[in-house]
A and B are shown apart, each in its own frame.
Chain A
Amino acid sequence: MARVVIMGGGVAGHTSASFLNKWLDDSHEIVVVTPNSHWNWIPSNIWVGVGRMDKEKVIFPLAPLYKKAGITYHQAKAFAIHPEGSKKSEKPFISIEYTGQGKEEEREDISYDYLINATGPQLKFGATQGLGEGSTLGKNTVSVCTAEHAVHANKELLKIFEIARSGKKQKILIGTGHGACTCQGAAFEYILNIEHEAKRAGVRENLEIKWISNEPALGDFGMGGMHLGIVGYVMNSKLLGESLFAERGITWLLSAHVSKVEEKKVHYELIDGTMGEEEFDFAMLIPTFGGADFEAQDKKGKNIYEKLFLPNGFMRVDGDYTSKPYEEWKASDWPSTYQNPSYKNIFAAGIAFAPPHPISKPATSPNGTNITPAPPRTGMPAGTIGKAVAHSIKNMINDGDNAKLNAISMAKMGAICVASAGFGWKEGEVVSFTVYPIVKDFETYPGTGRDTSRTYGEIGASGHWIKHALHYIFIYKAKLKPGWALIPE
């Protein structure tokens, strides 16, 4: 009998737990530890943030689902990993602190045979002065990172619409709240949806809408931009992004590191070292992400954090973490099995694994400030990696030392991205992309680093129908309803 403990119940963790539960027989135990009581389909938070979808439609409770599926569930936050056990315990274990189930603040140790770290991002609002404290959102801006944040964002947005309706000009600022942010796509969706809703509400003419981002160009998305093969010619995502913003009257400010947020004002630094300020009445700024906070100790209680994690808190896996200049980056630097090199029974999936380096070209201001978008690992890559890791652990449990690992690098993985640009079956729009591979591979695809016959983008109502359908399909899949395993990640 083996016990597999999964830390995190988001896209990656839930995918791993679901497949392990399906593939392994009942003699094995699958345990999920997550501080959250509900599963959240995060891509639809955008629609909650503009009041076009209720919070209840993007979340569902995990406890009844896991009870029915036979998965052990602890609503708790894991805070320590002991991969060699301790003086008291021969088996490796994690330490958790409950956040729900009537056991709040109680602590417990859970032993494991295999461990998956799928803790997702720690929202580091505190990394930017005035954006928040630690992982708690401050009062100066809003967020759409969680369903609760999105509900709050919508309430604040409606106040701005109300003021604009009275004829008073209002300024909206959307983008990234730090020079090392990722997830520009979520902010991109939010700004386009706000613009769309402002038109519907009849207040667009009284709103100035502006984008602020750490991207060197619009359409970078932390992927170094994309070259899209479109019926016989190649265009870039910069042109697509600029076109979308220009036709909507949205202005933009790029290569910006937001250094400080005050009430109705942000301070920023640009890549040339110049400083600036931007006033606003409503701002949604994505925080920078870090790995979850963990302690790591060996059998004697010695700190072994560096064996498991990089300084940014993301888990060390089978990538090449040697520091090297951009010109020497290779697709082969990226991990493929997501197995920790020191402890073979520990894996990381989704945002929790440490990428070897960004995908976008790194840039530093003359003041030494890093203004480089971090690589995205959410959505399709998170689900694909979660399933591959589950496959590897299943093989290790069933085949022992002869087991093979499932390998899929983000440099050999494609992704489908659908970025909402408005809601409604007829007037809604989505910017739809297929990208292959996610990580640029200049050896295989000289020039653009990607296969332009498979990297494609367009905008239209059809994309909105697809995104809307995906909302229901993925929630159906996450609820483990009949045939869920047939739905791809």
Chain B
Amino acid sequence: MKKEEANFTIEQFEETIIPGKKARWIRHCILFQFIRMSFFGLRSIGIILLNIRNEKEIPQ
């Protein structure tokens, strides 16, 4: 990796993707965020249950 490549610039990035105002608004819409929190909570419970399921008792 060349130093210039390591120093990725904002200008280079802006040519590709930057979330618009709509995306930023969604991030702070209270109702929408409550819904997202619920979904993330369910995903998190899924991970916790998976960890419990994957913990096995094995002989020494």
A: residues with CB less than 8 A from B are 239, 242-243, 246-247, 249, 251-256, 270-272, 274, 276, 336-337, 344, 384, 388, 395, 401, 403-408, 412-416, 426-427, 429, 432, 434, 436, 454, 456, 458-463, 465-466, 488-489
Contact = CB atoms under 8 A, between A and B. Distances in A.
Contacts of B33: 460-462, 465
Contact of B1 (A272, A415, A466): A272
A166 B2 CA distance: 37
Interface string B1-37: 1110011111001100111000000111010011011
Interface of B: 1-3, 6-10, 13-14, 17-19, 26-28, 30, 33-34, 36-37, 40-41, 43-44, 46-48, 50-51, 54-60
B43 A407 contact: no
Contacts of B26: 460
A473 B19 CA distance: 32
Given A246-B10, A344-B60, A427-B28, A406 B55 contact: yes
Given A404-B59, A454-B47, A463 B17 contact: no
Contacts of B43: 434, 454, 456
B1 A255 contact: yes
A407 B48 CA distance: 15
A114 to B, nearest CB: 13
Contacts of A454: 43, 46-47, 50
B28 to A, nearest CB: 5
Q: Is the interface of B mostly helix, strand, loop or mixed?
A: helix
Contacts of A251: 7-10
A408 B56 CA distance: 7
A461 B54 contact: no
Given A408-B54, A460-B27, A246 B13 contact: yes
Contacts, number: 120
B8 to A, nearest CB: 6
Contacts of A426: 28, 30
B10 A337 contact: no
A90 B36 CA distance: 58
Contacts of B7: 251-253
A101 to B, nearest CB: 36
A194 to B, nearest CB: 17
Given A243-B18, A246-B18, A462-B40, A436 B56 contact: no
B58 A408 contact: no
Contacts of B44: 416, 434
A483 B56 CA distance: 24
A404 B60 contact: yes
7 contacts: A249-B10, A270-B6, A414-B51, A462-B34, A465-B37, A466-B37, A466-B41
